[in-house]
Amino acid sequence: MPQLNSTLHETMELHELLNFKTICMTTSKMAQGVVFDQDLKALLEKDVQQSRQAITVLQGLVIKTQPQ
């Protein structure tokens, strides 16, 4: 497996970002069912799409930098 030059605390930082993104995406997805305003809903959906990409990237980075 290709290893990045990463220390433990860098991995932890990525891990924290991953958790934050996961919660944000869930919140935005949930809020879409509650809002009345369709412009706001469109922005929430945009956030979900962005977060999903970010989560995919972060998953890759966290796996790659995991201390063996």
Q: In the complex, which residues of this chain contact another protein (CB under 8 A)?
A: 4-6, 9-10, 13-14, 16-17, 20-21, 24, 27-28, 31, 34-37, 39-40, 43-44, 46-47, 50, 54, 57-58, 61, 65
Residue by residue, DSSP assigns 7-61 as: -HHHHHHHHHHHHHHHHHHHHHHHHHTT---HHHHHHHHHHHHHHHHHHHHHHHH
Q: In terms of CB distance, is 9 or 68 closer to another protein?
A: 9
Q: In whole angstroms, how close is the CB of 67 to another protein at the nearest point?
A: 14
